[in-house]
Amino acid sequence: MSAKGKIPISRRGFLRACVAGGAALPLAAVAIRQARGKAKVEYGGVFYEVEARFWEGAGDKAVVCTLCPRKCTVPDGERGYCGVRENRGGKYYTQVWGNPCALNVDPVEKKPVYHVLPGARAFSLATAGCNMKCKFCQNWTISQVRPEKTRNYALPADAVVRFAAKYRCQVIAFTYSEPTVFYEYMYDTAKLARKKNIKPVVVSNGFISAEPMKELCKVVSAVKIDLKAFTDKFYRDLTGARLRPVLDTLVLLKKQGVWFEIVNLIIPRFNDKKDDIKAMCKWIKKELGPDVPLHFSAFHPMYKLKNLPRTPKTTMFAAYDIARAEGLHYVYVGNVHPAGHKAEKTYCPKCSKVVIGRSAYRITERHIKDGKCSFCGHPIPGVWS
Ligand code: SF4
């Protein structure tokens, strides 16, 4: 997590905000009083006894988790692959409801999500755990560990919404690790946020089963999916997952009519071939349409791929040109300096004028009114109000 553009919430500041907000009680006590399930202190945080959704009994007290395409079979007393969902006596529980380990206020542009309330503050949170094992993960210290290994806040769903309002956030973003694995916490928070007119945004790897994603679409305002590459080999070798379920999720999002954007991290030698990028853009246009924003993001040496170089600027802008030539209307390039280049801006596909100007995470100009280009009146898709 880079510090740029972020307002970190320290534990002390967070507790102070609790008290200032009228909750003049120790934080754990506040949390326990508001918990959805039974709560008890465990692993340096608070364990809320919240039953997991999307699982079936498999006999002999084993369960099958159907939340994501892994469909883990989990014996009594054990956890699934993601390390945060546990079988206790033949019943399945989430271990992370109300226990985020990362809280920050970020610009929504940092997710990156460009067509949702430009310039909005996003109350961003994550718990431990992930259902992939990406060798290039930026947040591996929280995504690749169990919740016992992270320092957790005690923050039930209603408290998240309260704090988002307190920090003047119009968006709550489920981000950093993989929100699929903290599905119940995300779902409950999103439902409450909508009632307070705060937009829930999911930042996901898209490796989720269809039923939970359909349910989620009913309570969230937007989704960002990492389409990490366009070959199954990349997914198998570098993430431990598969490509097809992620493509299925994108098609499902299109059918559900929820707003979504795509990010593709370009890693030198692994997914930077022009033919693969072209094939991906063709697929996006054919299956999802030309209006889905596509963000190319530059790789920085990280985690298990520290031996690789950064993605050269030339590769990034070549990808941009390919996507534009294939007919995608909203293509962006991130993580490339200096900020303020042409590929950070949103252009009207009809009159080609800049409708939203950006420089890194700052909005420099905006010309969208009632969802339309202020110059020619052409509709610009997104969540603008
Ligand atoms: S969500 Fe976790 S436990 Fe469930 S199938 Fe996926 S990896 Fe396995």
- pLDDT digits over 72-105, tens only? 999 999 999 999 999 999 999 999 999 999 999 9
Which atom of ligand 1 is nearest to 207's Cα?
6
Give the model's pLDDT for residue 360.
87
- Between CA 54 and CA 65 the distance in angstroms is 6
Beta strands in 267-313, from DSSP E residues, in sequence order: 294-298
Q: Whose CA is nearest to atom 2 of ligand 1?
A: 82
Q: Is the CB of 130 under 6 A from ligand 1?
A: no
d(CA 199, CA 107): 14
Ligand 1 atom with the shortest distance to the CA of 183: 1
pLDDT in tens, 95-140: 999 999 999 999 999 999 999 999 999 999 999 999 999 999 999 9
> Taking the alpha carbons of 277, 266, 117, 356 in that order, is the dihedral positive or negative?
negative
Q: Is 84 in the pocket of ligand 1 (CB under 6 A)?
A: no
Helix axes 27-34, 11-20, angle to 10 degrees: 60
Q: Report CA(149)–ligand 1 centroid distance (Å).
A: 19
Of the candidates 129, 130, 141, 100, the one whose C-alpha atom is nearest the C-alpha of residue 11 is: 100
- Beta-carbon contacts of 226 under 8 Å, excluding residues fewer than 6 positions away, are 204, 205, 206, 262, 263, 264, 265
Q: Tell me the CA–centroid distance for residue 233 and ligand 1, in Å.
A: 21
Residue range 17-38, pLDDT digits in tens: 433 332 222 333 333 333 445 5
CA angle 64, 251, 128 (to 5 degrees): 45
Largest CA distance in the chain: 66
Structure token pair of residue 179 = 């929100």
3-state secondary structure of 158: helix
Q: Which of 21-30, 36-45, 199-208 has the lowest mean pLDDT?
A: 21-30
CB distance 82 to ligand 1 below 6 Å: yes
65 ligand 1 Cβ < 6 A:
yes
- Assign 3-state DSSP to the chain and report helix, strand, coil percentages, each to 5: 30, 25, 45
**Ligand 1 center to 227 CA (angstroms):** 19
Token pair in block for residue 355: 């409708």
User: DSSP label at 204?
Assistant: E
Considering the chain, what is the average pLDDT of its residues? 90
Ligand 1 close to Cβ of residue 160 (< 6 A): no
